[in-house]
Amino acid sequence: MKETINAAKEKMNKSLNALGNEFVSIRAGRANPAVLDKVMVDYYGAPTPVNQMAAVSVSEARILVIQPWDKSTLKLIEKAILASDIGITPTNDGSVVRLAFPQLTEDRRKELCKTIRKYGEECKVTVRSIRRDTMDKLKKMQKNSEITEDDLKDCEKKVQDLTDKFCGDVDKAVADKEKEIMTV
């Protein structure tokens, strides 16, 4: 019974962490090395993350510098960034690749906020799905006489409280990210 609730809590926590990872990849007009986390370079036939092939640093507030350890991979990195959905055209000077993040327009900020809300809603759906699965497990346990009806009611309340807490956390994360995006 307790293990079932703890498993649900752990799954909900993973959903919230996944949401956080999604938010990191959304750029807010500032250079952030995390936008390259999902960019894979075809390096000797194997998809390799950029941060494993190069030093990624922020040189100015809105400029990201990618300095590959192997200069021959410069074109490959540039090609992978162009193929990704980052939406920034890299500049290659022969030794490093630079990404200049443009200032976000008002329309783009609103578009990003819609995307953020969509991710938040998807996360809440996942949390509610975990709640439903947990409730089903608990009801099955009660049906098989593993727990009493009173235990079932207590557990259902705990699971619902857990769900409410995580949905609140998701709402807070969404609000924080929207505030970050809308701040000029």
The CA distances from residue 138 to 37, 161, 172, in Å, are: 39, 15, 29
**pLDDT at res. 112:** 86
Q: Which residues pair with 68 in a beta bridge?
A: 54
**pLDDT at res. 167:** 93
Residues of the chain predicted below pLDDT 70: 27-29, 184
Show the CA angle centred on residue 105, arms to residues 37 and 89, nearest 5°: 45
**pLDDT at res. 109:** 84
**pLDDT at res. 27:** 65
**pLDDT at res. 38:** 80
What is the dihedral sign for C-alpha 60, 63, 68, 72?
negative
Domain boundaries, given as residue ranges, for the chain? 2-24+105-182, 33-100
* Helix boundaries (H) for the chain: 2-24, 74-83, 106-143, 149-182
Burial class (CB in 10 A: 0-12, 13-18, 19+), 124: buried
**Closest among 50, 20, 53 to 36, alpha carbons compared:** 50
Q: Which residues pair with 47 in a beta bridge?
A: 42
**pLDDT at res. 31:** 73
CATH of 2-24+105-182, one of 3.50.30.10, 3.40.50.720, 1.10.287.3510, 1.10.132.20: 1.10.132.20
**So what's the architecture of 33-100 in CATH?**
2-Layer Sandwich (3.30)
Query: What pTM was estimated for this model as a whole?
Result: 0.70
